[in-house]
Structure 1
Amino acid sequence: MTRTLLFACDLSAENRAAFARAVRLALESGARLDVIHVLDPYLPRRVLHDLEEAVVADMQSMLTDIREDYALSEPEMLLQTVTGAPYAEIIREAHEREVDMIVLGGHRKRGQPDLVAGTTLARVLRSAPCPVLSVSHLASQDWQNILVPVDFSLTSRHTLRETLKRFPEAHLTLLHAWDVPGERELGSNGDYARWRDREVARLRNQLERETEALMSELDDVPDLELVLEQGDPLEVLMNRLRRQPPDLLALGSRGQLGRASQITEHLLAEPHCDIMLCRAW
């Protein structure tokens, strides 16, 4: 059965990068690309009819420009409009078409994480039946370096498998962050420092064993690196993204340590790279 990618197009200038990436992904994976634009259902019927034709024509024009700009051929694809609430229609279409991935443009209110929660992007992320790509960077660069935060939960294991399945040739960096209790209060105490060093060494050995066990469950594992950093998971992740941004961040939808909402909102408001979010199953 042919794989299907779903791209939700809003015809904005900011949406062009996501459209181009969707076309590239469809061509590289041999998938069909379904492009939809969601119209306001409360418009008069006559206006809707005329608007549908104009929107499809604009999507075709944008597609032509993108193909010329990126020197891309045209994948098997479908351009159409639907009516309704944008996030609800995107989710419904994803279910009905049994799509493998949803591609969306990035959040426009950069630096304002408190405005993310009610956006179409955030609502789709919460309910999507498949991985969701939030694309905000130009599609001219290949996704060669992918960062995958891991806590060895079922969610992060599933995310890693989804990443390996879709990008088998990429270099993957697994990032695990942890807090050592008492560091702030007892960090200068000699006995505590010795205990902390032993605990960190024990944790590193445990994580390396878990990583080896996880890798043994997977076939054709690509170039992979495990990075362990001490600190708050959100701070560690954001510092890593600012210091050494990857081409793509692959994140489980429940995040780390039950802090999905805070981590996701910060990432979407400050997108240092494109982001793929995966469900827990």
Structure 2
Amino acid sequence: MTRTLLFACDLSAENRAAFARAIRLAVDSGARLDVIHVLDPYLPRRVLHDLEEAVVADIGATLADLREDYALPEPASLIQTVTGAPYAEIIREAHEREADMIVLGAHRKRGQPDLVSGTTLARVLRSAPCPVLSVSQPASREWEEILVPVDFSLTSRHTLRETLKRFPEGRLTLLHAWDIPGERELGSDSDYIRWRDREVARLRTQLDRETEQLMGELDQVPELELVLEQGEPLEVLLSHLRRQPPDLLALGSRGQLGHHSQITSRLLAEPHCDIMLCRAW
């Protein structure tokens, strides 16, 4: 069965980077590119009819322009308009088309994580049946360095599996944030330091074992580097992104509860790179 990439186009100038990336992904993977634009269902019927024709023509022209700009061949594609609430229609279309991935533009309100939760992007992330790609970087940027935060959970295992499957030629950095009890009170005690070092070594061994098990399930395995850093997961991740921004961040989505919601909101509001968010299973 032909793979399908679903790109939600909003016709904005900021959306061009995501559109170009969607075209490139479709060409590279041999997938069909389905481009949809969601129209306001409350517009008069006559206006909707005229608007549909104009939107499809504009998207087709943009697709041709981007192919020329990036010297890309023409992928198999389908351009359509739908009416309804944007996030609900994107999710519904992804289900009906059995989309392999949804591609969206990045959140526009940079530096305002408190405004992310109600956006189309955030709502799609919460309910998408497949990985969602949030694009903020030019499509000419190669995805060579890929960062995957890991915490031994089912979600991070699934995210790592998806990343290994989709990007077998990338260089993956697995980032694990660790925090051992007693560091503040006993950090200078020699016995504590030896115990802490043993615990960190145990964590590394466990993560190596988990990674090797996943790699054994795949035919091609990219270059991997394991990085353990001490601290709270969000701050460790943001610090690493500032020091060594990757080309792509692959992150698991466990919904919008607890600290994971804060991590997602901060990352979407301050994108250092393109982000692929995977569902929990």
Task: Calculate the TM-score normalised by the size of structure 1.
Answer: 0.95
Percent sequence identity over aligned pairs: 85
Query: What code does the residue aligned with 1:117 have?
Result: S
**For residues 1-281 of structure 1, what are the structure 2 equivalents within 5 Å?**
1-254=1-254, 259-281=259-281
Q: Which moved more, 1:246-255 or 1:117-126?
A: 246-255
Deviations 1:187-236 (A, max 9, x none): 23344333323322333333333333333333321111111111111111
Aligned to 2:41, what secondary structure does the other structure show?
A: coil
Name the CA distance, whole Å, in 1 between partners of 2:114 and 2:28: 36
Deviations 1:113-140 (A, max 9, x none): 0000000000000000000000011000
Query: What code does the residue aligned with 1:166 have?
Result: R
State the shift of 1:258 in Å. Answer: 5.6
Aligned to 1:90, what secondary structure does the other structure show?
A: helix
Gaps of 5+ in 2: none
Gaps of 5+ in 1: none
Name the CA distance, whole Å, in 2 between partners of 1:48 and 1:185: 66
Aligned to 2:37, what secondary structure does the other structure show?
A: strand
Q: Which moved more, 1:220-229 or 1:74-83?
A: 220-229
Name the CA distance, whole Å, in 1 between partners of 2:109 and 2:34: 27
Aligned to 1:277, what secondary structure does the other structure show?
A: strand
State the shift of 1:156 in Å. Answer: 1.1
Query: What code does the residue aligned with 2:25 have?
Result: L
Query: What code does the residue aligned with 1:250 have?
Result: A
Task: Calculate the TM-score normalised by the size of structure 2.
Answer: 0.95
Deviations 1:11-43 (A, max 9, x none): 101000000000000000000000000000000
Go from structure 1 to structure 2 and tell me whether the alpha carbon gap of 1:206 and 1:97 turns closer, same or farther (over 3 Å shift). closer
Query: What code does the residue aligned with 2:74 have?
Result: E
Q: Which moved more, 1:95-104 or 1:224-233?
A: 224-233
Q: Which moved more, 1:205-214 or 1:59-68?
A: 205-214
